Structure 1
Amino acid sequence: MKKFFILFFSIVFILSCQKEEGSKKFAQDPEPIIQDALKNKKILILIFESESCQYCEKLHREVLNQPDFKEKKIKNGIEIAIIDVNGERMVTDPETGAKMEESALAFAYKVTGYPTIIVFDPKQNYKVLYYQPGFIPKQDFMDFLDFLGSGCYQKTKFEQFIENGKKC
């Protein structure tokens, strides 16, 4: 009987430690999003995440998955793709146009903390515009989308944009 309980609890423990089969975190392939942004000259935001990142989960739960955030993203013509820093899917580097695995893209941009948010500017051939490591609260992120979508990023700093009542 003792062997049965040990075997039973061992199996339960092993199953609970395995990666969740239906995980949706990296379910959406980032490459079509990247290609759409490049084709349509949209501002592109890549968010680099790892599977176990708690702040990434918080970013999705409190910001990215909120309906008003999604509306703001669409209104401002911004594409957001989630990159798995350990991923093997092939993606396009917005700056160089080279195809590489997600993990190689994370290495190329020296991503070491998660999430890391990188904004690419279509007006400058998708050069990096902003590099932000860490979580961004919802209202700040939404204000940042307005800043990017308005084009004010070309004329002023974000802080000035906010001080001016979201005007350039």
Structure 2
Amino acid sequence: MKKLSLLLAIFSVILFSCQKNEKAESKFTVDPNPVIQNAIQNKKYVMVIFESETCQYCEKLNKKVLSNPDVKQALLKNNIEVAIVNVYGNRKVIDPEGKKEMTESSLAGLYNVTGFPTISIFDPNKNYQLLYQIPGYIPKEMFISLADYIGSGCYQKVKFNEFADKKSC
């Protein structure tokens, strides 16, 4: 009986760790480079979201915000492309601002990303200069307001807090 309990415990640990690894690997399945390149070619805003595999708030941002149909619609309406970058990753990506190819981890270092998620927005009207960098999780309503703020061009006239209060510039 003890041997059976031990075998079941070992099997459970192996099964759990396989599922955990599968989940971590699947988080970064979309290559950010084509998203960034497409945005630059089509003069769209680039929103690079820096994440890590173990970040709970990154997971929450993906499940509760980025997958939401209203958020997807706001991003589409406001001409914003989203690329998710693994801060510890080795895939090659284009730096929207400098237009040079580097690894994901080098890009995170270039923009001094120290917390996750970090949302970096690049402006096509200013040759993809970094417009905003927002550390931390943003709830759905605020994320939609941010997309509207960027897409409407109000960022050139008023601060985000003022826009979020009035929903206009």
TM-score by shorter chain over 0.5: yes
**Secondary structure of the structure 1 residue equivalent to 2:133:** strand
CA–CA distance in structure 1, aligned partners of residues 98 and 3 of structure 2:
58
Instruction: Report the equivalent of 1:151.
Output: 153
Higher helix share: 2
CA–CA distance in structure 1, aligned partners of residues 45 and 96 of structure 2:
11
Runs of 5+ in structure 2 lacking a partner?
none
CA–CA distance in structure 2, aligned partners of residues 72 and 103 of structure 1:
29
- Deviation sequence 1:79-129 (CA, Å, 0-9, x none): 111101111111001111111111111111111111011111111111111
Identity %: 52
Superposition TM-score, scaled by structure 2 size: 0.90
- Deviation sequence 1:19-52 (CA, Å, 0-9, x none): 4326532111111110011111111111011111
Q: Number of paired residues?
A: 167
Runs of 4+ in 1 over 6 A off after TM superposition: none
Runs of 5+ in structure 1 lacking a partner?
none
CA–CA distance in structure 1, aligned partners of residues 16 and 114 of structure 2:
28
**Secondary structure of the structure 1 residue equivalent to 2:113:** coil
CA–CA distance in structure 1, aligned partners of residues 107 and 137 of structure 2:
20
**Secondary structure of the structure 1 residue equivalent to 2:26:** coil
Instruction: Report the equivalent of 1:130.
Output: 132
For 1:10-25, what aligned pairs fall within 5 Å after superposition? 10-18=10-18, 19-21=20-22, 23-25=25-27
Instruction: Report the equivalent of 1:39.
Output: 41
Amino acid paired to 1:58: K
CA–CA distance in structure 2, aligned partners of residues 11 and 103 of structure 1:
35
Amino acid paired to 1:21: E
Superposition TM-score, scaled by structure 1 size: 0.91
**Secondary structure of the structure 1 residue equivalent to 2:21:** coil
User: What is the aligned counterpart of 1:108 among 85, 92, 110?
Assistant: 110
**Secondary structure of the structure 2 residue equivalent to 1:129:** strand
